[in-house]
Amino acid sequence: MKRYPYLTSILGVVIGVLATLIVVKLTDKREFDGDYGRWRKLNLILQEVERNYVDTIDMKEMTDAAVEAALSCLDPHSVYLPPVQLEESQTELAGNFEGIGIQFNVPNDTAIVLSVIPGGPSEKAGLLPGDRILKVGEKTIAGMKTPQDSMVRLMKGPSGTKVKITVKRNTAEIPFDITRGRIPVNSIDAAFMVNDTTGYVRLTKFSRTTYSEFVKAYESLLESGMKRLIFDVRDNSGGYMDQALLLSNEFLEKGSLIVYMEGLHRSREEFKADGRGKLKDIALTVLINESSASSSEIFAGAIQDNDRGLVVGRRSFGKGLVQEPINFTDGSGIRLTVSRFHTPSGRCIQKPYSKDYAYDIYERYAHGEMTDADSIKLDRSVEYHTVSGRVVYGGGGIVPDVFVPIDTTKATSYYIACNKKAMQMRFASKMFDRYSATLSGIDDFEKLTGYLNSLDLGKQFREFTSAEGLKPAPGEWLQTESYLMPQLNALVGRYSKLGDEAFYRYYLDIDDVVKAALTER
C-alpha cells in the first residue's frame, strides 16, 4: 500500500489554516454586556451581518423578517403588517373602499355579478346582475383559475381612476369603462321580521359604520312591530371595539358594565352603559358560534353577564386581546396586544395559547365539542357570577346558555357530492340566466316564493346534476330535499331585488340555531 506523505502534509497545512481561521474568529468576540432590555444583542447581530455578510443584503427584507420573527414570540395576534397588508386591513374595517361597486361569486371559474351596489360606479356604467366578467383591463380572468382575491385587487383602485371591465351578457361581449369611486361596505347583511313580533339582524363584522347601520335597521324593525330581536353574530370575527360598546349600550341599563380591559402596562379600564339605549325593553337573543370573535364576544359576554338576554349556539372563538395599532411613516405598522378583555363577571375572553392554537377549531371537532355540550373545555377551578348570580365559567370564549350542536345527519352522499362540485351555486347562476327577465324584477318575498315554487327547482336541480353524473340513490332525494331546497331557493332568490335578505330568509328554514332561538324564551 502506497503512502503519500507529501499529500498528507499539504492536507495537514490546509486543515491547520482553516482551524486557525475558525479559532481566530471564535476568539474574536464582539462586546455584549448581557443587557437584553435595550435590544442590544439584536442590533449587534444585524450590524455584524451588514458589515460582514458575503453578499449584498436587502435591508428592508431582513428588517421585516426580524420584526416578524420577534413578534411571533408574543401572542398569536401581535403581527407586523407591510404597507399593502396594512392598507387592506384598514380598508376592510373602514366601512368603505374604492372600487367599482359590485358583489360577485365564482361558481365555475368565472366571476358572476350577484348585485350592483345602488349609486355605485358599476350601476352608473350599466353592469347588471348575472353578467359574466371576462376581463379586467386587458387581463383575462374567466376560465383562468384566477384567485378571487386577485380579481378583487384588479378591480379595486383609487377613486377617479378608470378600469375596463369586459362582460358576457347572454351571447354578447360588452366592454364597460368604469370610473372607480368610494363604495360603502355594509356590515349588516340582512335585517327583517321573522314573524309578527320577532326581528332578525345578521351582522358580519364591526366596521366604522356598524352602529349607524344598526340604528337604521332597528328603527325599521320597530316600525314593523318588533318586540323581540334575534341578533346573529355567527362567523363575525370582530372589528372596532367602540362599535361593540355602542351596540351593547342600546340594550343595557345605566351603569351596567359592558367590558373591562387591563394589561401589564395598561391599568384597568371599564366601559359602562349610559342608560340612553332605545332597546332596553326589547327581548334579545344573541347567536354565536366557533367563528364569533373579538367584538362579537364583547357584545355576547355583556348581554350574558348582565342577564339581559339569551346566548344561543356554540362556544365562541376566544379572542379577547386588545390590539393597539402602531403605524410607521413607510406605510407599514404593527398590531400589538396591550391588554386583555374581560366580561363583566371577570371572565377573560381570550382562550389559552397552545401549540395547536391555530388549529383549535379542528381540535373542537376532534374532541366532540361541536356535537356534545359536555365536551366543551371549561375552567371549573374558578366560578364567575352574572348579575343575577348565575354561575358561568371561563376557559376561553363565551359558552352559550343554550347549546346547539352541528347536525350531521342530513348530509347524504348525494348532498356531499353536490357540495364538492359547487352544484348548488352553479345551478343558481344557470337559473338566473334562464329566468332573469322575471327574477331580477321581484322585490316582494311572498311573490318571490310563489315564483320559485312555480319553477319546480327540485326537479330542475336533479336534471342538472344528472347531466354531470350525480344522481341521488333510491330514497336519497327524500332524505335530502328538506335540507337542500331552502339552499336552492336562497341561492336563486339572491338574484332577485331582495338580494341577501332573500338568501337569509330561506336559509333560516334549515338553521337549527335560529329554530332554537325561536323556541327559547
Report yes or no on 319 lying in a domain.
yes
Domain check: are 287 and 196 in the same one?
A: yes
Give the whole-angstrom CA distance, residue 202 versus residue 187: 9
Residue 198 and residue 310 share a domain: yes
Q: Closest by alpha carbon to 125, among 100, 103, 104, 142?
A: 100
Residues of the domain holding 500: 413-519
User: Do 238 and 247 form a contact (C-beta atoms < 8 A)?
Assistant: no
Q: Does a structural domain hold residue 491?
A: yes
Domain assignment present for residue 90? The answer is no
pLDDT tens-digit profile of 301-346? 999 999 999 999 999 999 998 888 888 888 888 888 999 999 999 9
C-alpha span between 263 and 254 (Å, rounded): 26
For residue 145, give the CATH number of its domain.
2.30.42.10
What number is the average pLDDT over the span 169-197? Answer: 86
What is the mean pLDDT of the segment spanning 201-230? 95
Q: What is the rounded average pLDDT of the residues 228-232?
A: 98
What does the alpha-carbon distance between residue 321 and residue 500 come to, in Å, rounded to a whole number? 32
Instruction: Determine contact, residues 227/285, Cβ cutoff 8 Å.
Output: no
Positive or negative: CA dihedral 287, 292, 295, 301: positive
Question: What 8-state DSSP symbol labels residue 348?
Answer: B
Task: Examine the domain organization and report whether 350 and 480 are in the same domain.
Answer: no
Within-domain flag for 232: yes
Is the separation of the CB atoms in 256 and 310 below 8 Å?
Answer: no
- Domain shared by 141 and 235, yes or no: no
Indicate if 134 and 259 belong to the same structural domain: no
The answer on 210 and 178 residing in a single domain is: no
Same domain membership, residue 309 and residue 228: yes
Query: What are the pLDDT digits (tens) for 453-509?
Result: 999 999 999 999 999 899 999 999 999 999 999 999 999 998 888 988 999 999 998
- Judge whether 209 and 184 are in contact, CB under 8 Å: yes
The label of the residue with cell 340566466 reads 433
pLDDT surpassing 80 at residue 205: yes
Q: What percent of the chain has pLDDT over 70?
A: 89
What integer pLDDT is reported at residue 24 of this predicted model? 45
- pLDDT tens column, 441-465: 899 999 999 999 999 999 999 999 9
**CA neighbours closer than 13 Å in the CB half-sphere of residue 198:** 16
The single-letter code of the amino acid at 324 is E
Residues 255 and 426: their CA atoms lie apart, in Å, by 52
Q: Looking at residue 224, which CATH number applies to its domain?
A: 3.90.226.10
Question: Tell me, what amino acid is at 119?
Answer: G
pLDDT band of 32, cuts 50, 70, 90: low
* Residue that the C-alpha cell 352574572 belongs to: 386
Q: What would you report as the CA-atom Rg of the chain, rounded to the nearest whole angstrom? A: 29
Does 30 fall in a domain? no
Mean pLDDT, residues 286-306 taken together: 96
pLDDT, position 419: 86
Q: What is the pLDDT of residue 410?
A: 76
- Please indicate, yes or no, whether residues 171 and 211 belong to a single structural domain of this protein: no
Region 21-47 average pLDDT: 65
Mean pLDDT of 158-177: 86
Residues 458 and 477 both lie in one domain: yes
Report how far apart, in Å, the C-alpha atoms of 198 and of each of 34, 192, 216, 235, 244 are: 65, 9, 17, 22, 22
Question: Does 408 map to a domain?
Answer: no
User: Are residue 479 and residue 491 in the same domain, yes or no?
Assistant: yes
The count of structural domains within the chain is 3
In a domain, 72, yes or no: no
Same domain, 194 and 179: no
Amino acid (one-letter) located at 464: F
What percent of the chain is modeled with pLDDT above 90? 45
The answer on 306 and 249 residing in a single domain is yes
Give the pLDDT confidence of 106-157 residue by residue, as tens digits: 767 788 887 787 667 887 778 888 888 998 888 888 888 878 778 888 888 8
Residue 89 lies in a domain: no
